[in-house]
Amino acid sequence: MIALFDSGIGGLTVLKPVLKRLPQYDYLYLGDSARSPYGSRSEETICRFAEEAVEYLFSRGAKLIIFACNTASSVALRHVQQKYLKGAKEKDRKILGVLIPVAEEAVKHTKSGRVGVVGTKATISSQAYDTEIHKLNPEIKVYSAACPLLVPFIEEGWHTRLEAISILRKYLKPLKSCNIDTLILGCTHYPMMQKQFERYVGGKVKVFGTGEVVAEKLASYLERHPEIEKKLSRAPRAPAKDAPAKESQGKRLFLTTDDPARFKAFAEKYLGMKMKTPEKINLN
C-alpha cells in the first residue's frame, strides 16, 4: 500500500488531492499527533521521529512511503533513505518526500527567477528548498521566511482571525520587496491559509502548496515505475463486462499517536468523507 506520514494533521492537505487523483490504491495515513509540531524541533529529534515512523510503516507492509510533511522531508528524508533503502532486500521499497516535485514546479513557473519559500523553522533553516531549486537552476534566487506561529493558529482553527493575518504579514514583509513571482507554501498546514497568503502577496504572485503538485507527480512516478506500481495493493478491478468508467476505490486506513476521536473529527471534516475510528498506535 501507499503510506503517507506527517507530524499530525497537516499531511491531509497532501492526502486529499492524492486520493482524488489516484483513488484506486490502498492508503495508510500516519499522523504523529502526540509529538507534533515537528517544525520547531532539532534535526536530531526530527530524524529520530522519522526513523520510528518509517520502521513502523514498513512493519505494516507499506511499500511506498511519502513524507507528507515538509519538515520531515527537508530534514530527515535523505537520512532515512540512506538508512533504510541501501540493502538488496529493500529494493522494492521507496521513501519519497514532497520537496523535489514542488521545487520543479516552482522552477518551471518562475519568469523573474525569484522564488519565495515559507515554512517551519526547521524547514527554512535546513535550506532544503534552496538546494533543490539550485540543483535545477542555480541562477534562481530563493527568498525564505520561517512562520512558526501559523501552525498553532491553524491547529486552533483561529487562522482567519485578524491576529493570524497580522502575524502572517509580519512574516511575509521581508519577502514583499524581493519581487518574487512564485511563493512556495513549504508546510503542509499552510494551504489552509492559502487565501490569506494570496491576498497579501497580490494576484501577480503564484502561490502553491504541496498537495496538488505531489498528487500529479506521484501519478507520473507510478506510470514511469511499473515495478513499484505493480506491488501496490489496490481495489480489485471490476470484471471486464461490468467495468465502470472509473476504477473503484481502494482501502483507507488512518493511524494516529494521539486521540483518535479528535483526529477523526478533523479528518472527516477536512477530507469530506466518513471513516472508521483511526487506530491509536505508539511509535516508540
Strands (E), the chain: 2-6, 27-31, 64-67, 94-96, 114-119, 141-146, 182-186, 206-208, 252-256, 279-280
- Is the CB of 259 or the CB of 268 nearer to a copy of itself? 259
Among 131, 173, 243, 259, binds a copy of itself (CB under 8 A): 259
- Is the CB of 103 or the CB of 168 nearer to a copy of itself? 168
Are the CB atoms for 192 and 167 separated by under 8 Å?
no
Least Å distance between CB 156 and a copy of itself? 6
Active site residue 178: no
> Measured on CA atoms in the order 47, 52, 57, 58, is the torsion positive or negative?
positive
234 forms part of the interface with a copy of itself (CB under 8 A): no
268 forms part of the interface with a copy of itself (CB under 8 A): no
Residue 277's φ and ψ, nearest 5 degrees, are -60, 130
Least Å distance between CB 279 and a copy of itself? 14
Where in 46-65 is the site for a copy of itself (CB under 8 A)? 48
Where in 138-157 is the site for a copy of itself (CB under 8 A)? 148-149, 152-153, 155-156
Least Å distance between CB 161 and a copy of itself? 8
Least Å distance between CB 166 and a copy of itself? 5
- Is the CB of 92 or the CB of 279 nearer to a copy of itself? 279
- Is the CB of 33 or the CB of 144 nearer to a copy of itself? 33
Least Å distance between CB 43 and a copy of itself? 8
**Cα–Cα distance measured from residue 151 to residue 157, given in angstroms and rounded to the nearest whole number:** 10
Are the CB atoms for 18 and 218 separated by under 8 Å?
yes
- Is the CB of 68 or the CB of 151 nearer to a copy of itself? 151
282 forms part of the interface with a copy of itself (CB under 8 A): yes
**Cα–Cα distance measured from residue 21 to residue 11, given in angstroms and rounded to the nearest whole number:** 16
Strands 27-31, 2-6: pairing is: parallel
258 forms part of the interface with a copy of itself (CB under 8 A): yes
Among 162, 204, 226, 245, binds a copy of itself (CB under 8 A): 162
Cell numbers representing residue 216 in the block: 500529479
- Given 47, 147, 178, 187, the catalytic residue: 187
Would you report the helix, strand and coil content of the chain in percent, each value rounded to 5?
Answer: 50, 15, 35
Active site residue 147: no
Among 167, 178, 228, 253, binds a copy of itself (CB under 8 A): 167
Are the CB atoms for 230 and 25 separated by under 8 Å?
no
Residue 70, Cβ neighbours under 10 Å: how many? 38
Q: Which residues are tagged catalytic? A: 69, 187
